[in-house]
Amino acid sequence: MSYLKNESLRILIFITLFLLIPLVNSVFASEFEIHVNKAANLLNVIQDNKIIKQYSVSIGRGGIGDKKKVGDKRTPVGTYYVTKLKDSDKFHYFFGLNYPNLKDGFFGYKRGLITIEQFNAIKRASSNKITPPQNTKLGGAIGIHGIGKQTKQKLLIHKNINWTEGCIAVENHEVMELKKFIKIGTLVKITE
């Protein structure tokens, strides 16, 4: 009898969650997408499949290729979404992404960089659209940010070389302008 009660409770929970998924997705929906082209050093704000704004960016100084582990200084490649919005003393403002995402976790597990428990935690974070674990060998704290205290030298570096540890950087006034387009759940597509 208790088995039937437990099974009924599980079915009820599943149905409830199934009905809530469209509501959760609509809360996270955004009318804008962000597309980053690493090779061109460009960030495009997309609305209705059209570029409505374009910014020059600096990316990870680790060169071409997908981010594979902490310290490789590469900007990840893939589809992410914004999980965090915050002021930053170091970078003026920070839009945190859900790196490592499910793809990053899968390949990290296959390469033996993370445990099955860490992969499952990344999977849960992905399912719940929250920030995944940031302290694994895959790294974390990847996002879009400003350049911090702006000086002529910093602007010169920003305009001429890729200098980040794996993030996507724009000028401070641009990161503040991006606040009009980016919210929790905004899709960010990063291509090579």
**CATH class of the domain comprising 31-191:** mainly beta
Radius of gyration (C-alpha) of the chain in whole angstroms = 19
Closest CA to 164 of 80, 97, 81, 79: 97
Burial of 184 (0-12, 13-18, 19+ CB in 10 A): middle
Check residue 151 and give its pLDDT: 94
Residue 16 pLDDT > 60: no
Beta-carbon neighbour count of residue 84 at 10 Å?
14
Confidence of residue 7 (pLDDT cuts 50, 70, 90): low
The yes-or-no verdict on residue 186 having pLDDT over 50 is yes
Q: How far apart (Å, rounded) are the C-alpha atoms in residues 105 and 190?
A: 17
The H or E element spanning position 85 is strand 78-88
Q: Are 14 and 168 in contact (CB under 8 A)?
A: no
For the chain, what are the domain ranges? 1-29, 31-191
Residue bearing tokens 């374009």: 54
Q: What does the mean pLDDT of the chain come to? A: 89
Give mean pLDDT, residues 62-75. 97
